[in-house]
Structure 1
């Protein structure tokens, strides 16, 4: 029996990129590639990601090309197009769903579970790039790199910054990583190279895993926040992590600490963060 694979391209994973899946036809599969034309650009794709993360999969528009083509698909592969309940119910032969990104917010996990259909994703896809960016943000803020550039472009020669009293080498900083999965572990590896003291709170990582990274576990988020010069978030969004950085937890941070969030926006209560910044907390 031929395995029918339906792939949905968009403005980031383009049809030409998705065409790499055609190699599976050498193994006897039948590969069909359609395109979600509502997400023709990278901006469209990132806007859709944000919509789904904020408001859930049901807030996203249906993908007509996916709905119209999924009836006999054995496998559905998407990037950001929604594998929603409508698609799952229509795809009577569906045996596997795949999302080509770290997050799985654009798949209805409950509806898939009801049918016993496994869902796979690509958790390492952007891990190195995000880890690089995370450490870059730490250095840029600590050393005022972007701030200095902006002032120089404005014709201003600044010799004293608001963080002047606590500009430090990274080797003298304690960095707290909230989560050391695919991205957090790579951030840890980079920071160990800077000779930073790296601590972590991750209830899903074993003591052996943390020890292998050469970093220190702490017993609670509260411990991490009170000790860290940088707090870097690397958790998935869930009921347990939604607004984990709120008025109470932000109040535990050092007044001189930096909060770096290269994970999901809703980990942080933005109103509470704005208040903490406005009050110089």
Structure 2
């Protein structure tokens, strides 16, 4: 059987070596397509493979249709909005993710962005400290939990809201749970955003939330750009001269945001939350092991479709 490692943004070398070793030990063949430049390279590569490991790469209906032997796709990461789950299900292709493997890397980046914003992008002027500030974590999953753990070391006052996580679970970790998301946005100077992109959450961070935020609020987005209503974001920043937006996912309106709010807006050029050697290794190894466990044993523990 053949396993394709399909990554426009490649894994670290150490991760690739580990993935190939796991596949080889299972008497399967590993093939690699990295830094591809058009979909036709992908369409050709998927024709005869049994399994695919991806990162943020798209698995569209067209690509899945070309993969006639494909049995499983594993996204080395948590979100699976880059995979057409309906098309996969129609073709009896199992889709999995690797929850938690990138969580620490994303959480460290979120905290780093808070420091960067608080110190005025290191421009030499007086900034503020994180100690004693109120941090609101919107969605208390693997990443949110790691953000909370790190923020405790900064002696921040930590709150969280998650519509799917019971308040007693949050408070067991020493975090104050809010019963409404609006209360989180009204209370906290820092909001760290970790909600997935779903039909319910798309563009859901909008005027309703922005207008409730504190006058010097800082919104950190290491989740997905699609959860932000960008026009409402711009209006908020225009009408609130001290608020800041820091993101790991470049907005569609990046140029306009940079021109209008150069002192209050920052975006990484590419999504960097999982761009660490450790996260690469963890997620890649998990993806390879899940594929082998599925192909040899039928294990579907992390199936999402």
Q: Secondary structure at the match of 2:42?
A: helix
Larger Cα-atom Rg: 1
Aligned with residue 107 of structure 1, among 66, 83, 96: 83
Q: Residues of 2 paired with 1:97 and 1:115: CA distance?
A: 12
Calculate the TM-score normalised by the size of structure 1. 0.76
Match of 2:19 in 1: 21
Match of 1:6 in 2: 4
CA contact (8 A) 1:19 1:33 kept: no
Instruction: Identify if the C-alpha distance between structure 1 residues 99 and 80 changes in structure 2 by more than 3 Å, giving closer, same or farther.
Output: same
Summarize the alignment of residues 239-258 of structure 1 with structure 2, pairs less than 5 Å apart: 239-258=199-218
Match of 1:57 in 2: none
Q: Secondary structure at the match of 2:65?
A: helix
Deviation per CA, 1:49-93, whole angstroms, max 9, x where unpaired? xxxxxxxxxxxx52x233223333221222343322123223233
Match of 2:153 in 1: 193
Match of 1:92 in 2: 68
CA apart distance, 1:276: 1.7
CA root-mean-square deviation:
2.4
Matched, 1:209 2:169: yes
The number of residues matched between the two structures is: 240
Q: Residues of 1 paired with 2:45 and 2:12: CA distance?
A: 18
Q: Residues of 2 paired with 1:32 and 1:277: CA distance?
A: 47
Q: Residues of 2 paired with 1:5 and 1:275: CA distance?
A: 47
Matched, 1:278 2:278: no
Deviation per CA, 1:182-206, whole angstroms, max 9, x where unpaired? 2111110111222222111111223
CA contact (8 A) 1:7 1:77 kept: yes
Q: Which has the higher contact order (CA 8 A, sep 6+)?
A: 2
Q: Residues of 2 paired with 1:67 and 1:267: CA distance?
A: 30
Match of 2:141 in 1: 181
CA contact (8 A) 1:36 1:81 kept: no
Which 4+ runs in 1 deviate beyond 4 A?
A: 14-17
Instruction: Identify if the C-alpha distance between structure 1 residues 145 and 36 changes in structure 2 by more than 3 Å, giving closer, same or farther.
Output: closer
CA apart distance, 1:251: 0.6
Q: Which runs of 5+ in 2 are unaligned?
A: 242-305
CA apart distance, 1:279: 1.7
Calculate the TM-score normalised by the size of structure 2. 0.70
Instruction: Identify if the C-alpha distance between structure 1 residues 68 and 19 changes in structure 2 by more than 3 Å, giving closer, same or farther.
Output: farther
Aligned with residue 77 of structure 1, among 27, 49, 53: 53
Aligned with residue 262 of structure 1, among 222, 247, 250: 222
- Higher alpha-carbon deviation: 243-252 or 67-76: 67-76
Q: Which runs of 5+ in 1 are unaligned?
A: 39-60, 149-157, 162-166
Q: Secondary structure at the match of 1:25?
A: helix
Q: Secondary structure at the match of 2:142?
A: coil
Q: Residues of 2 paired with 1:68 and 1:16: CA distance?
A: 26
Q: Residues of 2 paired with 1:224 and 1:279: CA distance?
A: 21
